[in-house]
Structure 1
């Protein structure tokens, strides 16, 4: 469990204070998202997913990838990275949260207008709104509804002036309680 937390903490230390096209830093965004999940009384796995859903952006930066005009599939990078420690209830909503944005924009055209400019740009890179048939198929995927909820928090968690007294350490116990395997 020590390895898991120290590895995640290192990502936040190195890249958490960087902005990525939004008005908040990676750290602020992650903590706000986890706070929203927690305030709604969500399951521990979904709170962890909310906290870590964009860790793939930090990993992409660690690997030197910062190109904003390409979809680097941070959701896949993050889910695969977290899969070494956590159950699918954490990693799969993360893997699906980008597709959930495509679902929401296809399902509710007004939703598009709630997106930030950076989120609209990334939506275009990710394939745009889903067709009605693709929406039906998406809803049949395990963890799709969790991913949709995660996506909504993701969109809300971009308040630059929010006084947040939380830090990553406040979620350490929760993260450690969810570890299903420790890598050697």
Structure 2
């Protein structure tokens, strides 16, 4: 299936690179998907957890590595995945950065749980949301899924976690969610 081989290539080329955290992109993606799976989440949300940062890998494929501005990896990733997956996968991915802004605006203590790299990117992404923006965000479809994805995203940065999972363990799940295959 083209979808899986394309995603697998992204992970093969860029999954073992670190991106400002203490884990590789592959470790982070697998930990995030594992957390979603352990909570009994819907298949679409597990896939979103696994693929939420694929935009970083795509940015690297295009030669973009500049850490001092926001590359909008969430938009890049969501648009890339839209060619195969339903909105239940792509929209939480598109919104997971905005969800960080929501969480830091809604709960000031949340900011202190963020890694230094995540705090830096928060500044680049506009900082915490205002109360009015928070209300508007909660009305957006998939906002609550994005908030949950964001929480897993922040937890999935354990460098010493021994994972027995790999991308192939999620192949069947990903293939079951494909709604269209590109030519």
Q: Same-fold call, TM > 0.5?
A: yes
What is the CA–CA distance in structure 1 between the aligned matches of 2:162 and 2:4, rounded to whole Å? Answer: 25
After superposition, give the CA deviation of every residue in 1:14-52 in whole Å (9 maximum; x if it has no partner): 000000000000000000000000000000000000000
Once the 2 structures are TM-superposed, how far is the Cα of residue 96 of structure 1 from its aligned partner?
A: 0.0
Residue 23 (structure 1) aligned with residue 39 (structure 2): no
What is the CA–CA distance in structure 2 between the aligned matches of 1:47 and 1:167, rounded to whole Å? Answer: 14
Once the 2 structures are TM-superposed, how far is the Cα of residue 134 of structure 1 from its aligned partner?
A: 0.1
Tell me, what secondary structure is at the counterpart of 1:183? coil
**Aligned pairs for 1:48-87 within 5 A:** 48-87=47-86
User: What does residue 131 of structure 2 align with?
Assistant: 132
Structure 1, unmatched stretches of 5+, are: none
What is the CA–CA distance in structure 1 between the aligned matches of 2:76 and 2:86, rounded to whole Å? Answer: 16
Q: In angstroms, what is the RMSD of aligned CA positions?
A: 0.1
Tell me, what secondary structure is at the counterpart of 1:110? helix
Once the 2 structures are TM-superposed, how far is the Cα of residue 179 of structure 1 from its aligned partner?
A: 0.1
Once the 2 structures are TM-superposed, how far is the Cα of residue 78 of structure 1 from its aligned partner?
A: 0.0
Once the 2 structures are TM-superposed, how far is the Cα of residue 157 of structure 1 from its aligned partner?
A: 0.0
What is the CA–CA distance in structure 1 between the aligned matches of 2:76 and 2:69, rounded to whole Å? Answer: 14
Equivalent pairs counted in the alignment come to 183
What is the CA–CA distance in structure 1 between the aligned matches of 2:106 and 2:147, rounded to whole Å? Answer: 11
Once the 2 structures are TM-superposed, how far is the Cα of residue 53 of structure 1 from its aligned partner?
A: 0.1
Residue 111 (structure 1) aligned with residue 117 (structure 2): no
Structure 2, unmatched stretches of 5+, are: none
After superposition, give the CA deviation of every residue in 1:81-123 in whole Å (9 maximum; x if it has no partner): 0000000000000000000000000000000000000000000
What is the CA–CA distance in structure 1 between the aligned matches of 2:111 and 2:152, rounded to whole Å? Answer: 15
Runs of 4+ in structure 1 displaced over 6 angstroms? Answer: none
What is the CA–CA distance in structure 1 between the aligned matches of 2:59 and 2:162, rounded to whole Å? Answer: 28
After superposition, give the CA deviation of every residue in 1:113-162 in whole Å (9 maximum; x if it has no partner): 00000000000000000000000000000000000000000000000000
Tell me, what secondary structure is at the counterpart of 1:145? helix
User: What does residue 36 of structure 2 align with?
Assistant: 37
Once the 2 structures are TM-superposed, how far is the Cα of residue 11 of structure 1 from its aligned partner?
A: 0.1
What is the CA–CA distance in structure 1 between the aligned matches of 2:68 and 2:24, rounded to whole Å? Answer: 19
